[in-house]
Amino acid sequence: MQRLKIAVKYCGGCNPGFDRAGFVKKLLEDFPSLELSGGGEGGRPLTVNGCRRACVKIDGGGLAVCCREDFDALRGELALLCEAALLLEE
């Protein structure tokens, strides 16, 4: 199975409106083909900001979350990326 590499980069957590680590854990449960790395290195960037201030900037072409409302959109993007990775494997 082709694994989709995601490089997670968290904000400093000064004013989180949701459980950032819990969200990433849930992504791993929902998408078992994800392979995560920390520090924003080693894969497609995923920036996880805890609030709308979004102090950590999104890298070009990267994915981002800054509030609960972003979850569904991100899940949709990840589903498409995982599907594309599977197609490349065939």
Q: What is the pTM of this model?
A: 0.82
- Give the model confidence (pLDDT) of 17-71 as tens digits: 999 999 999 999 999 888 888 766 778 889 999 998 888 887 677 888 998 889 8
Return the pLDDT at 42.
77
- Where along the chain do its domains lie? 4-89
Q: Of the candidates 6, 15, 17, 16, which has an alpha carbon nearest to the alpha carbon of residue 62?
A: 6
* Confidence label for 81 from pLDDT (cuts 50, 70 and 90): confident
Return the pLDDT at 88.
64
